[in-house]
Amino acid sequence: MSKSVKTAIILGQLGTPDEATLPAVKRFLKEFFNDPRVIDTNSALRFLIVNGYILPFRSPKSTKLYERFFKNHGPSLRTFSESLTKKLNHQYKDNKNIIIDYGMRYGNPNLDKVFSNLALQQQCQNFLIVPLFPQFSYATTASIYDVILDACKNCHHFPNMRFMAPFFDKPEFVQPNAQIINKAIKERASPPDRLVFSYHGLPQRNVDNGDPYYDMCNQTTKLICQQLDYPIKNIIQTFQSRVGRKEWLKPYTDVVVAELGQQGIKDIMVTCPSFTMDCLETYDEIGLELNHLFKENGGDNLELIECLNDREIWVDNLSRLIDQELIHF
């Protein structure tokens, strides 16, 4: 990599509303569900679904969830993204030609604006795009590709571009996750009755059409389990956050956890390895709502194991993954 050429590293995340108000949540949901990779249908039907159902009926409910979540945790995805970016910039402080920033696919700071600033205002010529989704999916990782490539249309010349490959099976990702889980179990008075690996769900149709997400989740679970000091027979893999009536990846997290409570299982821990940062889907959906569901069905304790977030071990390991990409410039 030439030391005289500016290189931009952009961390890509899903996004979060600007604030927990109905207008802000509505804007966020409108942008999210208008993405053809999220609702994979023709534009006319998508328009009807988004404007006729999601925005008028889902927005108020989602606003209440974000009000509760922001009150308890603040905009954690943005907070952790800012902190991780700051720490990575410190890692590369000796190279003045490397600039690290982050952008959201939906919401602010928006990825296209972050890219345009680095390309047009700061004159970066090399770009490494780092989607912070461990497992590839058509609906998430590929959507980040779309935004970046579309933003390139405003460039007078096409920059040198690399997209970091999914790191679902990389030791730099697997090892710190295993370490966090082992530490969380060791700090308890006794091990949990069950350990649940809960991944974000995906419509089964996507996988049937060739999305590799499910296989990558299976591989992540397998690799992390190989490093755990915990019986594999007590580990369960599930999928959360399903929307609508169509079939999603199974087994469903909420169904499994309710059944565990009904079967007399009293104490479980849940880890979420499809997320690198804690957000509404981990802190609130798992740590709060799933906890209540477990107790309603006879369980006593559900403990959420936090994500990598901005931990130093993840900063160090992510910088190693970045270094492996930078040598190609």
State the Cα–Cα distance between residues 217 and 239, nearest whole angstrom.
10
Task: Give tens-digit pLDDT for 254-274.
Answer: 999 999 999 999 999 999 999
Q: How many residues does the chain have?
A: 329
Q: Tokens 């006794």 correspond to what residue? A: 190
State yes or no: pLDDT of 28 exceeds 90: yes
Task: Give tens-digit pLDDT for 114-132.
Answer: 999 999 999 999 999 999 9
Under 8 Å between Cβ of 239 and 274: no
Name the CATH topology of 171-304. Answer: Rossmann fold (3.40.50)
State yes or no: pLDDT of 72 exceeds 80: yes
Judging by beta carbons within 10 Å of its beta carbon (0-12, 13-18, 19+), is residue 296 exposed, middle or buried? Answer: exposed
Domain residue extents for the chain: 7-165+312-326, 171-304
Name the CATH topology of 7-165+312-326. Answer: Rossmann fold (3.40.50)
166 sits in the region (left: phi over 0; alpha: psi -120 to 50; else beta) called beta
Query: What is the chain's Cα-based Rg?
Result: 20
pTM of this structure: 0.96
**What's the whole-number average pLDDT of the chain?**
97
Q: Confirm whether 7-165+312-326 and 171-304 share one CATH topology.
A: yes
